[in-house]
């Protein structure tokens, strides 16, 4: 059998296909991002197969002229080790579905990283990719400035809808722009780069993301040292003074257009008051501390990848906010995948940074590639530092840039990650393995995209008040992707439908129970699932099962869902156990006290209803003074709460009758 011969044109075609996919990913993730965006996740999974397939064909089609690197110095070795640990810990995760989903997403990032480091080594690829990152960053910065003028928000968040995430995203393009502007030889190019960089810097500063500002300090210090001959001159210092003045003018102008008050616009330092900074710092310390406690309780396997938000309520130090993230990626990872998992990840990041440094040093004499490699490397470093303080890596638009930038820089180093010569059959095995994994990811991506299409349509139809058609759409969404979230939305609508049927039909409630139990098979700590089961059992008059389900929901989430306590207290009220109802409500109200300041937008309503139910329970016990105090608290929280006002009037009438009977 004759070996396959690859022509230069076919190899070049495959290289351009890979490059085109990467450019597509960079642009797409910049404007279609978000921390919970399943659409973007699905697209990542779909493109992983063509990336892997074309890369394997390229490896077979051209000789490997790169020098070998031992496994201990290879970031790919640690990535493989990290993924193996993640896969092992996901099996015992308290949220199996989310852990598996995030592990799949990390595998996609790994493929992007490997392909970029393997294929995108040519100067043209480095330059094109860098320019696209730079230009998309400028567009994102302009969009954020426009949105900041239109929307009276305090901080620029752009299309990421989060100021800290935008600051993390702009680190790459901002550092790249500064390097390119300092390195440009032609005056016109230098002017263009500085103009774009000033736009980036303006948006970056208006995020008021102090963690991003801190993260860029070290890379800027390195750059200042490397470019000291260009920066620390009279001309250079004068330019930076002019640039600072221009930025300040732009910032004040944006604030003036937003507020219409020039004096207020000048006081940029008051955008985030000092007490707000202190409060944010203290909250982050609490989040990080809670993650450390989770790690202490699960040092080997962790609680499972992407489970911090679900486990946090048991470790909460404050009732004011329920975070999604610990604001420190490394400590959160330790809590989720254990000691060996975070150790492998830190080794991965460390070897990546070492390889980036080696590639930049190797290209020091190459004026065509050096600025781009240096700019991307500084962005990778800044992003790794930022992960110590914030959650940017949880946004696909940020994390995908990190891996693509890191891979491209490694590709410039001219080093492979093979410690020894490969066996003749290893190529075939690698092709089969890579293509198989790519196909599985693509299949998963296609089903995820199809599921999201049905799910989004079901959500829109449900918002319009429909039931039957949204239920059909939810069922289709679940058929493509058995996500617990989607299944619980389906179960919740089944429960709602059963409640609206004029004639009582227990079969409809049993169907809702079945779907809820199916969703809960993926999780040991599904507090919302247990609460929904409790409501179903309550309607079915299985009060014992309802009480156990409500108590389990409270055990899992003892702080952030007062509705759970309301449902349990209502159950006690139904059984005329008003003492139990009072004890249940007082236990949660004692946690919140008079607090209504929280990230939970439902809390005001929840606390007012809890006080209403407490007042009703005290009224049934004949404790009218306590009943009146509870109902007055309900009205203090919500002055337009008519039910509380009516109940308060009834309590006063009961007391008047009692006093009248006593007088007689």
Quick one: pLDDT band at residue 426, thresholds 50, 70, 90?
A: very low
Structure token digits, residue 198: 């000033």
Distances (CA, A) of 229 to 22, 234, 280: 35, 11, 39
Quick one: pLDDT band at residue 431, thresholds 50, 70, 90?
A: low
For residue 67, pLDDT beyond 70? no
For residue 526, pLDDT beyond 90? yes
User: Do 92 and 299 touch, CB atoms closer than 8 A?
Assistant: no
**Which has more pLDDT, 523 or 260?**
523
Residue holding tokens 């944010």?
280
Query: What does pLDDT average to over the chain?
Result: 86
Torsion-angle region of 142 (φ positive above 0: left; ψ -120 to 50: alpha; else: beta)? alpha
Q: Write down the pLDDT at residue 245.
A: 74
Quick one: pLDDT band at residue 465, thresholds 50, 70, 90?
A: confident
Q: Write down the pLDDT at residue 202.
A: 86
Q: Write down the pLDDT at residue 419.
A: 39
* Integer Cα distance of 52 and 330 in angstroms: 28
For residue 568, pLDDT beyond 70? yes
Please give the DSSP secondary-structure letter assigned to residue 120.
-
415 backbone dihedrals φ, ψ, rounded to 5°: -130, 135
Distances (CA, A) of 15 to 115, 123, 411, 414, 645: 10, 13, 13, 17, 72
For residue 418, pLDDT beyond 60? no
* Integer Cα distance of 489 and 491 in angstroms: 5
* Integer Cα distance of 517 and 509 in angstroms: 12
Please give the DSSP secondary-structure letter assigned to residue 67.
B
Distances (CA, A) of 191 to 9, 180, 239, 367, 369: 37, 11, 11, 19, 20
Q: Give the model confidence (pLDDT) of 332-368 as tens digits.
A: 999 999 999 999 999 999 999 999 999 999 998 888 8
Nearest alpha-carbon partner for 298 in 328, 333, 337 = 337
* Integer Cα distance of 365 and 440 in angstroms: 43
Q: Write down the pLDDT at residue 31.
A: 77
**Which has more pLDDT, 659 or 428?**
659
Q: Give the count of beta carbons closer than 10 Å to the beta carbon of residue 499.
A: 13
First to last CA, the chain: 113
* Integer Cα distance of 559 and 563 in angstroms: 10
3-state secondary structure 269-322: HHCCCHHHHHHHHHHHHHHHHHHHHHHHHCCCCCCCCCCHHHHHHHHCCCCCCC
User: Do 404 and 116 touch, CB atoms closer than 8 A?
Assistant: yes
Q: Write down the pLDDT at residue 428.
A: 66
User: Do 167 and 206 touch, CB atoms closer than 8 A?
Assistant: no
Mean pLDDT of 168-189: 91
* Integer Cα distance of 339 and 302 in angstroms: 8
**Which has more pLDDT, 239 or 3?**
239
Q: Give the count of beta carbons closer than 10 Å to the beta carbon of residue 81.
A: 18
Mean pLDDT of 265-273: 61
Structure token digits, residue 457: 């349509």
Q: Give the count of beta carbons closer than 10 Å to the beta carbon of residue 261.
A: 11
102 Cβ contact list (under 8 Å, min separation 6): 305, 306
Across 27-36, 80-89, 462-471, 610-619, least confident range: 27-36
Quick one: pLDDT band at residue 628, thresholds 50, 70, 90?
A: very high
* Integer Cα distance of 635 and 110 in angstroms: 55
User: Residues in the chain, how many?
Assistant: 664
For residue 65, pLDDT beyond 50? no
* Integer Cα distance of 304 and 359 in angstroms: 35
Q: Write down the pLDDT at residue 272.
A: 57
Which of helix, strand or coil describes residue 523? strand
For residue 414, pLDDT beyond 70? no
For residue 119, pLDDT beyond 90? no
Alpha carbon 448 to chain centroid, angstroms: 18
Half-sphere exposure of 393 (CA within 13 A, CB side): 26
* Integer Cα distance of 586 and 650 in angstroms: 22
Q: Write down the pLDDT at residue 488.
A: 93
Q: Give the model confidence (pLDDT) of 367-408 as tens digits.
A: 889 999 999 999 999 999 999 999 999 999 899 999 999 999
Which of helix, strand or coil describes residue 95? strand
Structure token digits, residue 13: 């075609």
Residue % of the chain over a pLDDT of 90: 55
Nearest alpha-carbon partner for 349 in 397, 297, 386, 298 = 386
């Amino acid at each position: 059998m004759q070996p396959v011969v690859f022509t230069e044109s076919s190899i070049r075609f495959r290289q351009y296909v890979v490059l085109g996919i990467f450019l597509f990913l960079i642009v797409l993730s910049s404007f279609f991002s978000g921390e919970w965006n399943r659409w973007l996740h699905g697209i990542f999974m779909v493109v992983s197969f063509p990336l892997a397939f074309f890369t394997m064909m390229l490896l077979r089609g051209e000789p490997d002229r790169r020098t070998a690197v031992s496994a201990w110095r290879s970031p790919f070795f640690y990535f493989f080790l990290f993924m193996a640990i993640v896969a092992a810990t996901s099996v015992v995760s308290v949220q199996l579905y989310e852990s598996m989903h995030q592990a799949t997403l990390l595998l996609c990032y790994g493929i992007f990283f490997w392909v970029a480091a393997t294929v995108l080594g040519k100067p043209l690829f480095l330059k094109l990719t860098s320019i696209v990152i730079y230009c998309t960053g400028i567009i994102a910065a302009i969009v954020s400035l426009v949105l900041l003028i239109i929307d009276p928000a305090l901080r620029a968040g752009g299309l990421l809808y989060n100021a800290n995430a935008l600051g993390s995203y702009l680190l790459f393009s901002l550092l790249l722009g500064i390097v390119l502007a300092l390195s440009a030889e032609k005056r016109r190019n230098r002017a263009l780069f500085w103009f774009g960089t000033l736009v980036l810097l303006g948006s970056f500063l208006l995020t008021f993301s102090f963690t991003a500002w801190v993260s860029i300090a070290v890379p800027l210090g390195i750059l200042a040292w490397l470019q000291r001959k260009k920066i620390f001159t009279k001309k250079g210092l004068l330019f930076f003074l002019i640039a600072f003045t221009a930025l300040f003018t732009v910032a004040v102008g944006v604030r003036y257009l937003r507020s219409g008050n020039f004096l207020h616009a000048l006081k940029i330092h008051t955008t985030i008051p000092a007490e707000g900074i202190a409060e944010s710092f203290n909250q982050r310390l609490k989040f990080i501390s809670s993650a450390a406690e989770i790690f202490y309780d699960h040092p080997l396997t962790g609680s499972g990848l992407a489970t911090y938000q679900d486990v946090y309520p048991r470790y909460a130090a404050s009732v004011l906010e329920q975070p999604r993230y610990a604001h420190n990626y490394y400590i959160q990872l330790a809590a989720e995948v254990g000691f060996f998992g975070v150790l492998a990840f830190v080794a991965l990041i460390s070897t990546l940074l070492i390889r980036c440094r080696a590639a930049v040093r190797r290209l020091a004499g190459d004026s065509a590639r050096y600025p781009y490699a240096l700019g991307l490397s500084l962005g990778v470093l800044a992003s790794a530092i930022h992960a110590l303080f914030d959650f940017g890596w949880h946004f696909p638009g940020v994390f995908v840039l990190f891996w693509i930038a890191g891979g491209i820089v490694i590709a410039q180093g001219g080093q492979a990650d093979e410690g020894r010569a490969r066996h003749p059959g290893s190529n075939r095995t690698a092709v089969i393995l890579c293509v198989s994994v790519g196909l599985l990811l693509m299949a998963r991506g296609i089903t995820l995209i199809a599921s999201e299409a049905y799910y989004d349509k079901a959500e829109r139809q449900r918002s319009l008040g429909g039931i039957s058609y949204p239920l059909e759409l939810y069922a289709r969404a679940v058929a493509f992707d058995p996500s617990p979230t989607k299944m619980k939305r389906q179960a919740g609508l089944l429960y709602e439908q059963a409640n609206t049927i004029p004639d009582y039909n227990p079969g409809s409630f049993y169907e809702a129970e079945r779907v809820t139990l199916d969703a809960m098979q993926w999780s040991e700590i599904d507090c919302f699932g247990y609460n929904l089961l409790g409501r179903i059992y309550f309607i079915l008059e299985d009060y014992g099962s309802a009480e156990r389900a409500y108590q389990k929901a409270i055990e899992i989430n003892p702080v952030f869902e007062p509705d759970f306590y309301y449902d349990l207290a209502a159950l006690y009220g139904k059984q005329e156990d008003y003492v139990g109802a009072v004890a249940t409500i007082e236990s949660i109200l004692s946690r919140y006290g008079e607090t209504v300041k929280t990230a939970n937008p439902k809390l005001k309503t929840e606390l007012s209803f809890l006080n209403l139910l407490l007042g009703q329970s005290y009224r049934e016990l004949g404790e009218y003074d306590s009943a009146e105090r509870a109902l007055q608290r309900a009205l203090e929280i919500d002055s337009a709460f008519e039910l509380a006002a009516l109940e308060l009037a009834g309590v006063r009438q009961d007391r008047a009758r009692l006093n009248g009977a006593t007088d007689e």
